[in-house]
Amino acid sequence: MLPFVFRRFLQLIPTFLLATIILFAIVQAAPGDFLTQLSQNPRISAERLDQLRTIYKLDQPVVVQYWSWLTRFLRGDLGDSFAAAQPVWTLAAPRILNSLILVLISTILAYGLGILIGVYGALRPYSFADKAISVFAYFGLGLPSFFFGLLVIFLLVTIKQNTGWDVPIIGKSSAASENAGPLAYAWDVFLHALAPSIVLALRSISSESRFIRAQMLEVLGQDYIRTARAKGLAHNVITYKHAFKNASIPLVSSLGGLLPGLIAGAGFVEVVFAWPGITPLLLDSLGNQDLYVIVSITALSTVLYIVGNVVSDILLAVIDPRIRFN
């Protein structure tokens, strides 16, 4: 397996270079740059703009700018943000941590509920409950997350108006909890993260439940399951030790996709719930043409995506002895 892992990590190099070159070229192809907006400010002289262009190396050819960023990135330096006038890592680290909170909570909800719902549907195929679950799954797959988020906000606001039950909706925490101690603050952050995490998990719950149901139905029809039943094994042993174990093997391949999600954030759900994650930062950076913020965060996501695929392959080989890498 070690030669396979080594080859896969070697493949990371051209993939990373190609992805970052394309991204760098796309950002540079946009009309103007970060200083274009500053040039509209009458208080900033043309001489100052020229100085800033030299400081930020925006007067250099694109190839030189890319090489300068790449050498810094390989040393662990993500570059500097033009708009914030501080290192990208200093700017992005707390945002990544905030996105990580949503991603972890939503992942636990997605896999926990998705597996339970999928197994339940497979054990009672084509029953009323199974059909209701299927309708819910298709609803979850078809409904955009940001629109579902707006519906959740409307529902929670309506509940608050009618019952007085104050459910945290917007932001990461309340001002009162910041000075109430670490445990109270952590609990407040969790309550604020619950609604966006549920919205974020809806699509994954729907897809995972359908996937597990299909896999379980296929495995439950195998000969070795019928043999286990003929031997008189307990229902739970057959279901969870034999059927679910084999049905969940393909599910492992999706675990690698969690790694880039730690950097990519929770998408527009963060925007809808005003959650200070990585997505609002990326959107602001796109609007400001903050080159190094965009490229560095996307490059980290690319690296984690490739590493995640390697991790998925390794996990598949560990849990499925039939898989061998030559």
157: number of CA atoms within 13 Å, CB side? 8
According to DSSP, residue 237 is labeled: I
168 Cβ contact list (under 8 Å, min separation 6) = 174, 188, 191, 192, 194, 195
User: Which portions of the chain are predicted below pLDDT 70?
Assistant: 1, 253, 255-265, 320-326
The string of pLDDT tens digits covering residues 82-107 is: 888 889 999 999 998 898 898 889 88
Domains (range + CATH), the chain: 89-319 (1.10.3720.10)
**Tens-place pLDDT, residues 104-136:** 898 899 889 999 999 999 999 889 999 998 998
pTM: 0.83
Amino acid at 167: V
